[in-house]
Amino acid sequence: MARVAFLGLGVMGFHMAGHLAAKGHEAVVWNRTAEKAKLWAGQHKGEVAKDPAAAAFGAEYVLLCLGDDPDVAEVFAALEPSVGAGMVVVDHTTASAGLARDLYARCKAKGAHFLDAPISGGEAGAKNGALTIMCGGDEDTFSRAEPVMSAYGKKMTLIGGAGAGQLAKSVNQICIAGIVQGLAEGLYFAEKAGLDPARVIEAISGGAAQSWQMENRWKTMVEGHYTHGFAVDWMRKDLRITLEAARENGASLPMTATVDQYYADVQAMGGNRWDTSSLLARLKR
């Protein structure tokens, strides 16, 4: 078992850090809102650190699960004095590949190791310890981090060098955006055509149209319940990062850019915290 610092106890991180403690790792946590860290400590075995540097001091592994590039940059700068030779820093935030490469270089300069490792699976995946983790970095760093990440990860894949994990997460979000919009339009069409959506889904879900979104979200979408999973605000953040990367590498992403604007419409409807399946609400508006 290892001494692990976990920084960021949000919707995902709270459960991820809990799995580490449950697996017997010596866990030290920090969160910008101290009350959340105290709540975590009341439910799990572990310490609460006063700041990022204190959390990282003496840790073998430092795991981050934050919001966006500025959050990661700020927290890493705060813990950087505690980064030492041999330490493994893993960033589970969905952030930019450029930032990942910068942090990789800064860790390497101190004899430490860095892995960008964005996650997929939502709150349910975090609760169940069944997250998918897309990693970028060195193979030996991935091999060292894999046993620790297995506390909350079901599938971990090393995609390539520094930044590759973040770029793979962009691929994930591109695919999800298209699938959810297609499902929303299909359900909207069925309603307008006077069809029973349950029978339609029963008929088509065993064929090529089937998807995780169809299986898990069609019913709540039809019922207008959008309190499940990943929030629209976070999806827009991820799509912003994706579209910025596309401008850098020359990829044309017309569907992704369009769906991003559809999510902007959902935000304008007050759906910032609705889940990503709320694209149907936009069509029915």
Q: Which residues are catalytic?
A: 169
- 100 vs 224: CA distance, rounded Å: 38
Alpha-carbon dihedral 254, 257, 258, 260, rounded to 10 degrees: 160
- 67 vs 118: CA distance, rounded Å: 11
Provide φ and ψ at 24, rounded to 5°: 100, 5
User: Helix (H, G, I), strand (E, B), or coil: what is residue 121?
Assistant: coil
Provide φ and ψ at 83, rounded to 5°: -75, 125
- 240 vs 39: CA distance, rounded Å: 32
Judged on CB neighbours under 10 Å (0-12, 13-18, 19+), 139 is exposed
Is-contact 229 276, C-beta < 8 A? yes
What H or E segment, with its residue span, contains residue 5? strand 3-7
Q: Residue written as tokens 């800064």?
A: 106
Within 8 A by CB and 6+ apart from 200, the residues are 186, 190
